[in-house]
Amino acid sequence: MTGSKSPTADRIAATIEGIEGVDVPRGIVDITLYRDDLSRGEQTPHVRGTEIPFAIEGKRIVLLDDVLYTGRTIRAAMDALMDFGRPENIQLAVMVDRGHRELPIRADYVGKNLPTSKQQSVQVRLVEEDGVDDVIVEG
């Protein structure tokens, strides 16, 4: 199994490998330089680097994010991904869809729909990083 820096992606890949018997290659997409709020000068960008150890040309790519909110993070991820080639298609898997979309982006796979107000924040915690699997809504 090709490892990643995403416990969620590693869990999903291990499940697919157990069921289908195939290795699921994984990578990390750094969206820092593709964000649409960089020009506002409100933040100092911290570039982590994209790691895609396989060719994406002609492949089905599943982007995975913890919380889907406005859709801007996913738009940035798609822009970053396209710099590496043209996949056959791009699908989106999210652990939590909290609504309030600003862009026409919809998840293909959703762990939980969680209606929230715009004033609330949602945090997904994972046992591999936080010692527990849960979702916290604050505000």
> Within the chain, how many helices (H) and strands (E) appear?
3, 5
Distance CA 105, CA 139 (A): 25
Greater confidence, 1 or 40?
Answer: 40
Q: What is the average pLDDT across 26-52?
A: 79
Q: What is the average pLDDT across 120-133?
A: 96
Per-domain boundaries in the chain = 7-138
Q: Please report where in the chains the tokens 């979309």 appear, as a residue.
A: 101
7-138 topology per CATH: Rossmann fold (3.40.50)
| Residue-averaged pLDDT of the chain | 91
11 SS3 class: helix
What six digits make up the tokens of 89?
């298609």
Pick from 49, 52, 111, 50: which is nearest to 87 by CA? 52
Asked whether residue 129 carries a pLDDT value surpassing 60, the answer given is yes
Distance CA 27, CA 51 (A): 5
pLDDT at 47: 72
Question: Residue 1's pLDDT band (boundaries 50, 70, 90)?
Answer: very low
Rg, Å, the chain Cα set: 16
pLDDT, tens digit, for every residue of 84-114?
999 999 999 999 999 999 999 999 999 999 9
Side-chain-side CA neighbours of residue 128 (13 Å): 8
Pick from 14, 28, 39, 120: which is nearest to 77 by CA? 28
Greater confidence, 43 or 33?
Answer: 33
